[in-house]
Structure 1
Amino acid sequence: METRENHVRVAVVQAAPVIMNLPETMEKLRSLTSDAAEKGAKLVLFPEAFISAYPRGLTFGSKIGSRSEKGREDWYRYWESSILVPSPETDRLGKIASDYGVYLVVGITEKESMTGTLYCTVLHFGPDGTLLGKHRKLKPTGIERLVWGEGDGSTLPVFETPYGKMGSLICWENYMPLARMAMYSKGVELYLAPTADSREAWQSTIRHIALEGRCFILSCNQFVTKEMYPTDLACYDELASEPEIMCSGGSAIVGPLGNYVAEPVYGREEILFADLDRSHIVKSRLDFDVNGHYSRPDVFQLWIDDKAKTNTK
């Protein structure tokens, strides 16, 4: 274990991918990581499903009881722009992390080599380029369940870093009390929450989690407009009723007493920076420590099934 450091500059990248274009998305990610590193960031977080799209507004031609051929064409395009883990694409992400000397955390759409199933996944890379591990979303929300499978308890890691323990939950997983408790039980200090939720109510969620977990929380969303979508999608007409700004952002960084370290940003792409002081975590736990003197293990017990299921390796 490296020597612990009390201070770290972090970056939250509020940006959209080049939708369903894997090579151009990878290059945009490299460029944004470079920008963050040049300003001193040691941890760089990208949004949910940055590679290579959160397919907001699309139904892939699906209704209860039927699917269209045009929808299957768009689904195939989406699948093709997703990535295997490991793969040459994850090797490149690792190289980006090592080139810029950062912990790189990226939301991806992950595909399996032996199935057609996709997963909403977060990859964690160390500054030496090592793929530290991944987290697969446990419960896709609503119609997300059409395009993403469910993860299992084998991908709920928390990683040691010189700046504190780092872990992630994706979007509405953060409304699952036991999923949060799993993170707290592993001692998470840098709690990463890539999301697709730009509602004002989401701000209440991340501030509550920071207070509850007495941790720093980095929430990262995309800024997406309708004009960013490729117009040659087979089901492009599905977007006709969507607003011009399809996701307004709302990325933010919150300290362990629930106060903003970096205020939420809306309406544009931007990299948010914050200088975090790990001593604030310890100070905040004077009166509340969810995994310590407030845990009451004599009353409550948490059991986590961390075994991989055969279809979600």
Structure 2
Amino acid sequence: GAPHPSLPPPPQQAFGKQEPSSEPRPGDENADIAGFDEPVTIAFAHAEPVHTGLHHAVAKACAFIKLAGSQGVDLLVFSEAWLPGNLALHDSIWPHEAHQQELRRSAPRPEELQPLLQCVGEAHVNVVMPTALEEGASVFNTALFIDKTGKLLAVHRKHLTSYEKHPGQYWWDNGAGTDYAVVYMKDVGRVCALLGTENYLMMARYTLVAKGCEFWLAPTQDVGEVTDRHVINMAREEKVYVIGVGELLSHGSAQQGLGGAGAHGG
């Protein structure tokens, strides 16, 4: 589907040479950010998504956003597709058509993001919210970059890996690979994100390194030793701070499915 007019348009160039950014960086003479001499507080919302009902999902997200703002958090991160829940993941634990359709209907449209943006602005905290964003006939696994004024800085649509055939490509449309974003967030620095298995795409990682990412967010539904080692490897290879965020799925929610869902807990 075509990008919604209210969303930031994707850049024309995905890979290769990147133009220098005019945004301030730590060490710049007049940089209005925390810098390396002051602490940066980054937190993730350790919360299970509200799997059905966009209104309730946004309300729960706002509760955590306001809490983060009251505790002096500079950047709050949610897990992959947190709003309204990971459609691909829950396809495997709630295979009934009724559950699938309810999740699909709960995916927000661009024009339905205003309550979330308003909440972020009121809490005065930078937020990266992974969501299932519906655009036209497509639903994209998406990361929203929202600054502490409530402004939507960038939208990244996940580029699916070649081996992500099921259930990922059943639910998600494929991002074009043209909107890998590095955004400047006040009191933090230059922030980027790749979703799940995107973090294994070498050219995607190269693009973010070339754009000068400093704080690398890696929301994912993957758990285990391989994921942990890869996050550490990225930090060393890309010379960035990497924040890995796994999905929380309670035992009670898993029991609503057909069983065998415990391995999906994050």
What TM-score, normalized to structure 1? Answer: 0.68
CA distance in 1: counterparts of 2:93 and 2:79, whole angstroms: 22
Match for 1:58: what amino acid?
Answer: D
Q: CA deviation at 1:241?
A: 3.1
Residue 217 of structure 1 corresponds to 242
Query: Are residues 1:138 and 2:163 paired?
Result: no
Greater share of strand residues, 1 or 2?
1
Larger radius of gyration: 1
**2:191 alignment partner in structure 1:** 166
Question: Residue type matched to 2:49 in 1?
Answer: P
1:104 is matched by which residue type in structure 2?
V
Alignment-mate amino acid for residue 12 of structure 1: F
Shift of 1:246: 4.7
Whole-angstrom distance in 2 between the partners of 1:10 and 1:102: 10
1:106 matched to 2:129: yes
- Partner residue, 1:200: 225
1:227 pairs with 2:260: no
**Would the alpha carbon gap of residues 5 and 139 (structure 1) be closer, same or farther in structure 2, given more than 3 Å must change?**
same
Instruction: Please state how far the C-alpha of 1:219 moved relative to its aligned partner.
Output: 1.1
Q: In the TM superposition, what are the counterparts of 1:299-310 in structure 2 within 5 Å? A: none
In structure 1, distance between residues paired with 2:85 and 2:64: 16
Q: Is the 8 A contact 1:226 1:242 kept in 2?
A: no
Say which is worse superposed, 76-85 or 99-108, in terms of deviation. Answer: 76-85
Q: Do 2:91 and 2:100's aligned partners in 1 also have CA atoms closer than 8 Å? A: no
Instruction: State the Cα distance separating 1:228 from its structure 2 match.
Output: 2.3
1:32 and 2:50 are equivalent in the alignment: no
* Cα offset, 1:21, TM superposition: 2.3
Of 112, 120, 130, the residue aligned with 1:97 is 120
Q: d(CA) in 2 for partners of 1:61 and 1:93?
A: 27
**SS of equivalent to 1:97:** helix
Residue 159 of structure 2 contacts residue 198 of structure 2 at CA under 8 Å; is this kept in 1?
yes
Q: Partners in 1 of 2:93 and 2:51 — Cα distance? A: 15
Q: Contact 2:194–2:217 (CA<8 Å) still a contact in 1? A: yes
* Aligned positions, number: 229
Name the residue aligned to 1:247. 264
Name the SS for the 2:40 alignment partner. Answer: strand
Distance 1:22 1:8 in 2: 31
Whether 1:41 and 2:73 are equivalent positions in the alignment is: yes
Q: CA, structure 1 residues 177+32, in 2 after alignment: closer, same or farther (shift >3 Å)?
A: same
Alignment partner, residue 4 of structure 1: 33
Alpha carbons of 1:130 and 1:165: their partners in 2 closer, same or farther (altered >3 Å)? same
The 2-side partners of 1:29 and 1:229 are apart by 21
Closer, same or farther: CA 59–197 of 1 in aligned 2, 3 Å: closer
Q: Which amino acid in structure 2 is aligned with residue 49 of structure 1?
A: A
Separation in 2, partners of 1:107, 1:61: 21
Matching residue's letter, 2:71? K
Please name the residue that 2:52 is paired with.
Answer: 20
Write the deviation string for residues 203-255 of structure 1: whole angstroms up to 9, x where unpaired: 10110001111111111122102422695xxxxxxx32324x35332xxxxxx
> Secondary structure of the residue that 2:67 maps to in structure 1?
helix
How far, CA to CA, are the matches of 1:242 and 1:61 in structure 2?
A: 11
| 1:245-284 superposed matches below 5 A | 245-249=262-266
Structure 1: how far apart are the matches of 2:159 and 2:249? Answer: 25
Identity %: 21
Report the alpha carbon displacement of residue 153 of structure 1 after superposing the two structures with TM: 2.7
How far off is 1:57 after superposition?
Answer: 4.8
Distance 2:211 2:229 in 1: 23
Q: Confirm or deny: 8 A CA contact 1:48 1:196 kept in the other structure.
A: yes
- Please name the residue that 1:58 is paired with: 91
- Using the TM superposition, give the Cα deviation of residue 174 of structure 1 relative to its aligned residue in structure 2, in angstroms: 0.4
Q: CA 1:47–1:23 in structure 2 vs 1: closer, same or farther (change >3 Å)?
A: same
Alpha-carbon contact 1:19-1:228 (below 8 Å) kept = no
Spell out structure 1 runs of 4+ moving beyond 3 A. 59-62, 245-248
Unmatched 5+ stretches in structure 1: 63-69, 232-238, 250-313
What SS is found at the alignment partner of 2:247?
coil
Which residue among 67, 92, 102 is the counterpart of 1:77?
A: 102
- Give the C-alpha shift of residue 40 in structure 1: 1.2
**Residues 94 and 258 in structure 2, CA contact (< 8 A), matched pair in contact too:** no
Alpha-carbon contact 1:18-1:228 (below 8 Å) kept? no
Pair 109,159 (structure 1): closer, same or farther in 2 beyond 3 Å = same
